Chains A and B, each alone.
Chain A
Amino acid sequence: MKQIKHFIGLELKAGLKRRMALIMLIFTLFAILLPVGTAVPEDSENNLTISKDGFFDGIITYLKNLYPGAERELQTSETISKAAIEDVQQSADSGRVVLKIATPSVVKSASLIGDSNLGIFAHLSNPPLMKMDSEGRLVGQLAESYNVSENNTCWTFYLKDDLYWSDGEKVTPQDVEFSIRYYGKKTPWAGWINETLESSTISEADNSVTFKFNKPYTRVNMEFVTYNILPAHIWETIENPMEYLNNGPYVGCGPYYLKMIDLNAGKLIFEKNPYWKGKVSEFENVEVHLYSNVDVATLALKNGDVDTYYKYAGSYPYSGIEQLEKTGDFDFLEKTDIGLVFLSPNLKKAPFSDPGFREALTYAINYEEIARLETLGYGEVPNRGFVPPAMENFKETEKLEYSPEKAIETLEKAGYSDSNGNGVLEGKDRKDIKLEILIRSEYARTGELLEEYFERIGLSVDLKTVDADTWVTLKDSYDYDLTVTRSTPGVCLCTQVGEAAILIPDGQARE
């Protein structure tokens, strides 16, 4: 007892001690749970039924508070309105035809402009001016047509005249002008607009908007494939769009508008735009289901929980195709992926600054093996040239060839030989060539294959596998000899990495 006194200054019986231990355990649990449970004002409305009192009342209150409540002042913008939820429940009950899309491109924040994945899905509700059609051509989306001045500084977009916002307002050239200028001023990734846009003019007569840039710009039509058009009458009051969080609904002008974002349920819900005058879809709602795991997304598709699968500029996982085929429930359509994977040499330093060396290395790569191993046979040996077959302006050139003998012969002709007989070719400075290949972790296997191919022709390779961020840092400081990376049609990456590139087999998308 003396010792107990020493600890807490009280005499405790054994039973009391046990009870205290239990109370401490329970207290610990509730001390952790309490802050969240008390975070919402008591008078908050809720979407969950709350009983008057008792232990379960506490649990219910806790669950209620987890749900982004309407009254939490800080989270007002994240609120999912009760009406929206009831609407969605009614839609589900009424048996409306719903298209469910599974995607591994998870939306992390309910910021239409700040979240890149949400921006991609919002093409459905807030379509950009332009789009890429199924043949890879750039065509108008909200724009009926467009033209560009001879010196590539003036771009005029003529809008379709049957476009309406989901609140009944007509889509005007002012909306387009506002959206483009808004992006330029308010977002870092569109800062180029703010820096280069000299003026913009609107013509009500021909429903057009003209952008005049202070320097020639040849790919504005491509850039405007990604900028969602916003209703000026809604967004002009929002000072900081990057930080504007809203779980919907958002006013849209596409065939659908974004009705609700519910990240805890892992879904986005689009509903038909009642003022849409274009081709009418048979689906009343489109639901985008967000899966953090590709395997689960493919299982959901196979199981019929969702109707289709989408990944931006990427293919359905090759390993899952056979399983889908076995179900007999799917029709398959193969199209070449518009995303491209390529090898990019560092032209700023030897030996890749030498065209002869680069030419030799094109023969060293076993493209068929890469296609077999990386894309499970769904890829094909690429052509010379950077533009992939799925895109406009693709030129049919000769296929890249795998021939280690030719590679060695070309290297010899270009002046690379193993004069000291140690098995490693020497550069023009007479030192052994050691290529530093910079690989992002997702291309680790490709990197290992390249290492094997290059060593086969007498080159020593140092494979450096890094995370995406480190890759960007090293790439920007030109701290590599060769790198493997991926690009999508709208990216300027190739100009940053280097002017020369060797495509490597990328797969084909199956829908």
Chain B
Amino acid sequence: MREAAIVAFAQSASLRREMDRNEVEILIPVIHELRTSAGLGNEDIDFVCSGSSDYLAGQSFAFVAGLDAVGAWPPVCESHVEMDGAFALYEAWVKIQTGSADLALVYGFGKPSMGDLPITMALQLDPYTQTPLWPDAVSMAALQARMCMEGGVCSEAEMAARAVRDRRNAKQNPKAQLKGDFEVEALLAEPHLVSPLRRHDCAPISDGAAALIIASAERARQICQRPAWIRGFEHICEPQDLGVRDLLRSRSTELAAQHAGANRGKIDVAELAAPFTHQEILVERALGLGDEVSVNPSGGALAGNPLMAVGLARIGEAAARISSGEADRAVAHATSGPCLQQNLICVLEGD
């Protein structure tokens, strides 16, 4: 493998609704901050890759406008995935592996507040047999949560404890959307949203963007005092239908973590993009995270969930903790599809 590292990261605040900025207006300051902090001009960038979704934007080719924020002139070597920006980072990392790029700008953005997100997500399901029933995303997750509770994976209290932890951690994160001190008991006294899920079990709907710079070893050293080296990177997809996979564990996270070598050393920090509390527990279990690991120091997806940027932001948050010296080894996670169908694991290490 060719050594590559995350050397800079920037993100917008996660907001329930960006009232007066369109996607490009959200992205421009993020990319500007990123380039300024890394001291890079467009001429330094060999490759650009982004992640976004047309259905969040309600418009075909919505990603094309994202290019406006880059200032893609002279023309850039560029690609786009209809996935979370974390997968765009994967593509950029592969590009660096081929030797045809040394430094790449990666971004993800989403403005799901414009539509009815849980219903829109029903369009991810089988168009012939499932979408016509319009199972919304929260209900799909609730089915899984019920199985997890009945199957001995977790209790309501353990789920609420994740919300308490993440929101408490998010107090240190100026970009987070949900933050503060909560008690498990008080949360459990709240009514169900979609039984067995309560509001605190669900990630918020967030508008936002994230961007980062990935560089080969030589370039990384020039830009960053302490680069966050990518020492493992893998993503795995499961079949979609809920009936054909084990919903009490995240098999794809386990496999991705295994291929990425997540457990080849002690993990200091884990940043998880699971959008429901029980899914956060499933991912923790798949990664074998113990009490000694600082999970979601940023608050994770449960504290701010800008779809298509949230996974990339987890990698950025983990990398920032390596670069600051807070952590020596971190694992970041991104997910896609109903009930943790597809999962990505990125292992980062300091020098």
**Same assembly:** no
List A residues at the B interface (Cβ < 8 Å): none
